[in-house]
Each structure stands twice: as C-alpha cells, then as structure tokens.
C-alpha cells in the first residue's frame, strides 16, 4: 500500500517497532498493531508494568540505603562538632541531581508542546476532511434540488406552451428525462450522507482528551519544578522543616514520574506499531465503523494509479446528460422562441439553472477526487506519527531523568539535613544562617564584661 504524500515512517518508528513484545505468559507477540486482540493488550500492559517494576526497585533501594544510613552510622564522640567526612559531597550530589531534574523539566515542557502540536495537526486534518465531506453533500443536495425545481416548474411550463408542436414537446420531455437521470446519478455521489461516523465528532473527542492530557502534564511539570526549587532553597537556607516537607513531596513526584513513564512507554510502542503500517488498520476500522465499500475507502486512503475512481461512471453519465440537456435547450431556443415568444422566459431560467448546476458539478468533481481527502489523511499521520511520537519520546526522557534525579535526592537529603547545625535561638532559626549564632555571641560578650 502506498504511503500518503509527505509521510514516511521515521527511524524512531522503525526502532520501537522492532522491539520484542510478549504477553503475560512471556510468549512472543507479533508487532502488528492490533489493539482489539488480548495478547497485544497484554504486551502493552507488560511494557507499562516495566515502569512499575522500576518504581518498586527504586523504592527498595532508597529504603535500604536510608535504613543503612540511619542504623549503621558509627557513634559520635561526646562534644564532637566537626562534620562527618563526605558531608559536602553529599550536599553537592543532591544539588547536582536537582539541577538534572530541572533540565529534565525543560525537556518535558518541550515534549508536551510537541505532542500537543501533533494532536492539533491531527484534529485540523479531521476538521478539513469533515469540511470536504460536508461540501460534497451540500453540492449534491443543491444540484438535485435545482434540477427537481426545474423539472417541476420550467420544463412543465414549456410542455404546456409547446403543446401544439409535438416534436418540441418530445424534446422537452427528453430534457426532463435527462434532468431526472442526472439527479438520480448525483444522489449516489453523496457517499458520506448517512454514515454514523463523523470526523467532526472524532476531532472534538481528540481535542477534549488532549486538552486534559496537556493540562495534567503541565501540572506535573510545575509540581516537580516547585519541588526542585524549594529543595534547593531549603539546602541553601539549611531549613530542616522545608527539606523534610520537600522530601515527602519528592517521594510523591517520584511515584508520579514512574507512572507517567509507564504510560508514555506503552503509548509510544503502540503508536510506533500503528505508524509502521497505518493504511490497513485505518481502512479496516473505517469500513467497520461506516459500512462503506472497500473500493471507495481504498480510493481515498491509497490514492494511486492502481485504484480507480469508484464514482467515475456516475460522473461521466452525469456530464453527458448535462451536455445533452444544454444541446436540447439550445435547439428549443432556436425552434420554439420564434413561434412561441412565451417560451423564452422559462428557457432563460432553465439555462441559468444549468449554468449554475454545471459550475457546481465541476466543483463536485474536484472535491470527489482523492487528492484532497488523501492529503488530509497524510497530514493526520504526520501529526500523529512524527510530532506526537517525538513529543512522547521527549516526555519519556523527562520522566526518566526526573525519576533518577528524585531517587538520588531522596537518598541524599536525609544525610544533608543531618549536617545542618541545630537552631538554639529564635534569631538563628529565623535567619536560617549558621553565621548568626557566632555574631550574636560576639555581641553579648562585651555586655557580660560590663557587669
């Protein structure tokens, strides 16, 4: 099957599509996109479960590290004020991890924007396709109504005026039959009229889901950014309560990061399977949802020389019938108007109707050609399989950096706050600076000497 114009599966699509897949019994699963099959669903759930496994291992590692830190510290000698060795390294490792997390947040904002752009391109393509299909239905309805009105009024009036000339009446009845035949042929061109699937509704549903997805990621990114900034502030101010609160918040964001990573990984793998060969799945799904023939759907989804226009016969017959009506009206104008002046008005009205109908017919021929709808199909694939997939991969990188940075911070923060000097007075506690206590002691010494 031919690829839509401007769309080729990217290297990321090929790479993700080649990854092995297995169900819950660890049996191999084909990488073809089949979301309705249970084995394929289990394979995607297993990909998402890998993030859950990573979360469990991270929590176990953090718990073991902190238990070892709390329970296996050597006892300090009484009156020892020197900090334990490696304290500065612990603090700086925590700061470095938080800075890596901040860099990951920037990547996450970019990935969220790219994903949103791709989904917006998909929605725009669906809306444009809906506009094309609606225009086809509107043009067909307008032409059928015009021809029906011409048959009921002008042609009937001509028959009454030309009653005395049987050959002219026969020509008028021939034009009537031709107009009725054109109307019948045109009604078969509105192929999307009674279809239950609406591209407009699909675009609205996609935009609705994307709006909440985008908002959820924005909130997650802002939450992690606030956690990183306030943790850095707590380390700079040596505020124990702030560091403790941010430690709890870091644990929460760590869980959210691993959860988002599983969702992103499963979505990226499934999307790569779809994008590697989208035509077959889209054609089968559309045929199932709409009930349209495979010849019509293949013409618009493939749009190549191997697939002929399923409406070509109807268009050819309609064009010939319109040409015959024109020639018959011109003959009536030459023969009837000199003898029956009252026939001129309905003939002029008929010619105007036919001119408008022919103009609409040429528009209809252009809209029924596969180029327009196939271009929308290609734009939808590019938005979904290029921008949206690239954004998902950046979001996956953000989640990975975030999980690693927060796990490192959770291991380092308890050791860091253990190095904070104790607060002995309200002034030192409020200032949060270790220099406040020596300065206060220096001010109190001269006063005690005076006494």
What is the percent of the chain with per-residue pLDDT over 70, rounded to a whole number? 87
In this predicted structure, the answer to whether residue 224 has a pLDDT above a threshold of 80 is yes
Per-residue pLDDT at 70 = 72
In angstroms, the CA 337 to CA 343 distance is: 6
Work out the mean pLDDT of the chain and round it to a whole number: 85
Q: What is the mean pLDDT of residues 139-159?
A: 89
The verdict on residue 286 lying in a domain is yes
Q: pLDDT tens-digit profile of 112-130?
A: 999 999 999 999 999 999 9
Q: pLDDT tens-digit profile of 257-307?
A: 999 999 999 999 999 999 998 999 999 999 999 889 999 999 999 888 788
Residue 230, Cβ neighbours under 10 Å: how many? 16
Q: Hey, which residues does 28 pair with through a beta bridge?
A: 22
DSSP state of 28: B
Residue 22, SS3 per DSSP: strand
The verdict on residue 438 lying in a domain is no
Selected residue with higher pLDDT from 90 and 215: 215
Q: pLDDT tens-digit profile of 235-249?
A: 888 888 888 899 999
Per-residue pLDDT at 105 = 95
Q: Give the count of domains, the chain.
A: 1
Q: What is the mean pLDDT of residues 214-230?
A: 95
In this predicted structure, the answer to whether residue 402 has a pLDDT above a threshold of 90 is yes
- 118-132 b/e (C-beta count within 10 Å ≥ 16 → b): bbbbbbbbbbbbbeb
Q: pLDDT tens-digit profile of 339-391?
A: 888 888 888 888 899 999 999 999 999 999 999 999 999 999 999 999 999 99
Closest CA to 165 of 335, 3, 363, 362: 335
In this predicted structure, the answer to whether residue 443 has a pLDDT above a threshold of 50 is no
In angstroms, the CA 242 to CA 234 distance is: 5
In angstroms, the CA 375 to CA 4 distance is: 7
The verdict on residue 89 lying in a domain is no
The verdict on residue 451 lying in a domain is no
Per-residue pLDDT at 41 = 93
**Least confident range of 43-57, 78-92, 163-177, 258-272:** 78-92
The verdict on residue 429 lying in a domain is no
Per-residue pLDDT at 158 = 85
The verdict on residue 287 lying in a domain is yes
Q: Hey, which residues does 22 pair with through a beta bridge?
A: 28
Range of the domain at 390: 11-70+94-420
The verdict on residue 265 lying in a domain is yes
The verdict on residue 34 lying in a domain is yes
């Amino acid at each position: 099957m031919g690829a839509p114009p401007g769309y080729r599966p990217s290297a990321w699509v090929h790479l993700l599509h080649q990854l092995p897949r297995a169900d819950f019994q660890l049996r191999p699963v084909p990488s073809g996109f089949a979301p309705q099959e249970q084995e394929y669903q289990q394979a995607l759930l297993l990909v998402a479960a890998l993030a859950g496994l990573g979360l469990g291992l991270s929590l176990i590692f953090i718990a073991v590290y902190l238990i070892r830190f709390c329970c296996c510290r050597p006892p300090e000698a009484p009156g020892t004020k020197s900090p334990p060795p490696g304290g500065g390294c612990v603090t700086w490792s925590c700061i470095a991890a938080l800075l890596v997390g901040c860099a990951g947040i920037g990547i996450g904002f970019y990935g969220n924007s790219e994903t949103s752009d791709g989904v917006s391109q998909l929605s725009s393509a669906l809306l444009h396709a809906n506009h094309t299909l609606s225009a086809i239905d509107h043009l067909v309805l307008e032409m059928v109504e015009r021809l029906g009105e011409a048959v009921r009024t002008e042609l009937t009036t001509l028959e009454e005026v030309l009653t005395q000339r049987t050959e002219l009446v026969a020509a008028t009845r021939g034009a009537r039959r031709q107009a009725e035949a054109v109307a019948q042929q045109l009604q078969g061109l509105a192929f999307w009229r009674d279809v239950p699937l609406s591209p407009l509704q699909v675009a609205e549903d996609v935009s609705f889901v994307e709006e909440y997805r985008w908002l959820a990621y924005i909130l997650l990114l802002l939450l992690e950014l606030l956690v990183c900034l306030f943790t850095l502030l707590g380390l700079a101010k040596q505020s124990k309560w702030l560091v403790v609160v941010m430690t709890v918040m870091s644990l929460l964001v760590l869980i959210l990061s691993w959860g988002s990573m599983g969702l992103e990984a499963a979505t990226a793998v499934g999307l790569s399977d779809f994008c590697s060969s989208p035509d077959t799945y889209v054609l089968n799904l559309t045929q199932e949802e709409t009930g349209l023939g495979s010849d019509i759907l293949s013409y618009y989804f493939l749009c190549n020389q191997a697939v002929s226009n399923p409406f070509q016969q109807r268009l050819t017959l309609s064009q010939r019938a319109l040409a015959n009506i024109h020639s018959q009206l011109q003959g009536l104008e030459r023969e009837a108007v000199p003898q029956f002046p009252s026939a001129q008005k309905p003939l002029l009205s008929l010619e105007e109707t036919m001119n408008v109908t022919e103009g609409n017919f040429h528009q209809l021929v252009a809209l029924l050609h596969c180029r327009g709808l196939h271009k929308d199909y290609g734009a939808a694939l590019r938005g979904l399989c290029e921008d949206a997939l690239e954004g998902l991969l950046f979001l996956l990188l953000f989640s990975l950096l975030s999980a690693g940075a927060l796990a490192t911070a959770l291991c380092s923060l308890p050791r860091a706050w253990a190095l904070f000097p104790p607060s002995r007075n309200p002034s030192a506690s409020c200032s949060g600076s270790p220099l406040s206590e020596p300065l206060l002691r220096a001010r109190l010494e001269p006063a005690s000497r005076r006494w």
